[in-house]
Amino acid sequence: MKKSKRPVILGALAAALVFVATVIVCYIVWFLPDIPLQEIKPGISVANIEHGKYLANHVMVCIDCHSARDWTKFSGPVVAGTDGKGGATRRPAPILPSR
């Protein structure tokens, strides 16, 4: 009679799960670094404003969605003067210009 290997596999999976959970709990209890919170007060300076512009325009590209876009042109460039004014909606942007 052929014995099913299913109980052995399930037992091994349960043991592995218990082992991983134990390792995670041990890490949290004994090894997780205790880093004190730092209070950050960003000041308004030209350098900070320029850094914010850099992040919004080039790193996070907030401006791409939060500006009016001219979808009649290739790649829908931002309409000059609408930077950050809004424009993104939950509606999908047209992929191709309609005309």
The site for ligand HEC (CB under 6 A) is made up of 56, 60-62, 64-66, 88-90
In terms of C-beta density within 10 A (0-12 exposed, 13-18 middle, 19 or more buried), how is residue 29 classed? exposed
Looking at the Cβ atoms of 11 and 85, the one nearer to ligand HEC is 85
Min dist CB 84 to ligand HEC, Å, is 9
Instruction: Provide the minimum distance between the beta carbon of 47 and ligand HEC in the complex, in angstroms, as a whole number.
Output: 19
CA 38 to chain centre: 23
| Residue (2 or 58) nearer to ligand HEC, CB | 58
59 in Cβ contact with 74 (< 8 Å): no
Question: Between 23 and 55, whose beta carbon lies closer to ligand HEC?
Answer: 55
CA gap 57, 49 in Å, rounded: 12
CB of 70 to ligand HEC, least distance (A): 16
SS3 label, residue 18: helix
